Amino acid sequence: MSTLPDSYIDYPKRREGYDHDLYPWSNMHQRPAIAWPGGSVAVWLCVSLEWFPIIPEGPFKAPGHMVTPYPDYRHYTSRDYGTRVGVWRMLEAFSREGVKASFATNAAIAERYPDLIAAIQSDGHEIIAHSTDMNGTIDASLGEEGERALIAEAMARLENATGARPKGWMSIARQQSFHTLDILKEEGLTYCCDWVNDELPYRFANGLIDLPLNHELSDRQIITVQQKSGESWAESMRDAFDWLAAEAEREGGGRMLPVHLTPYIIGLPYRIDALESLLRDISGREQAWFARGCDIVETWENQQ
User: What total number of domains does the chain contain?
Assistant: 1
pLDDT value of residue 80 = 96
For 51-79, write each residue's pLDDT tens digit.
999 999 888 889 999 988 778 999 999 99
Q: Is the pLDDT score of 267 beyond 60? A: yes
Sequence-distant (≥ 6) Cβ neighbours of residue 274 within 8 angstroms? 229, 230, 231, 233, 234, 266
d(CA 236, CA 64): 22
Sequence-distant (≥ 6) Cβ neighbours of residue 206 within 8 angstroms? 181, 182, 185
Do the beta carbons of residue 4 and residue 225 sit within 8 Å? no
Q: If you write DSSP's letter for every residue of 253-264 in order, what string do you get?
A: S-EEEEEEE-HH
Q: Is 291 among the domain residues?
A: yes
pLDDT value of residue 59 = 82
pLDDT value of residue 2 = 58
CATH of the domain at 205: 3.20.20.370
Q: Is 29 among the domain residues?
A: no
Q: What angle do CA 135, 141, 146 make, to 5 degrees?
A: 70
Is residue 140 exposed (0-12), middle (13-18) or buried (19+ Cβ within 10 Å)?
Answer: exposed
Across the range 261-271, mean pLDDT stands at: 98
Structural domain that includes position 49: 37-302
Q: Is 87 among the domain residues?
A: yes
Nearest Cα to 42, choosing from 120, 130, 109, 101? 101
Q: Is 112 among the domain residues?
A: yes
pLDDT value of residue 189 = 98
Q: Would you give the DSSP letter of residue 154? A: H
Parallel/antiparallel/unpaired status of strands 102-105 and 126-129: parallel
Do the beta carbons of residue 117 and residue 36 sit within 8 Å? no
pLDDT value of residue 19 = 79
For 173-227, write each residue's pLDDT tens digit.
999 999 999 999 999 999 999 999 999 999 999 999 999 999 899 999 999 999 9
Q: Is 32 among the domain residues?
A: no
Query: Which residues on neighbouring strands pair with residue 49, listed in sequence order?
Result: 105
* Start-end of H helices in 35-179: 73-81, 87-97, 107-112, 114-122, 144-162
Query: Which residues on neighbouring strands pair with residue 218, listed in sequence order?
Result: 260
Q: Is the pLDDT score of 9 beyond 90? A: no
Q: Is 104 among the domain residues?
A: yes
Q: Is the pLDDT score of 12 beyond 80? A: no
**pTM of the predicted model, to two decimals?**
0.94
Q: What are phi and psi of 279, to 5 degrees?
A: -65, -40
Sequence-distant (≥ 6) Cβ neighbours of residue 115 within 8 angstroms? none
Q: Is 103 among the domain residues?
A: yes
Residue with the larger pLDDT of the pair 12 and 190:
190
Q: Is the pLDDT score of 13 beyond 80? A: no
How high does pLDDT run on average in the chain?
A: 94
Query: Which residues on neighbouring strands pair with residue 48, listed in sequence order?
Result: 104
Residue 37 binned pLDDT confidence (cut-offs 50, 70, 90): very high
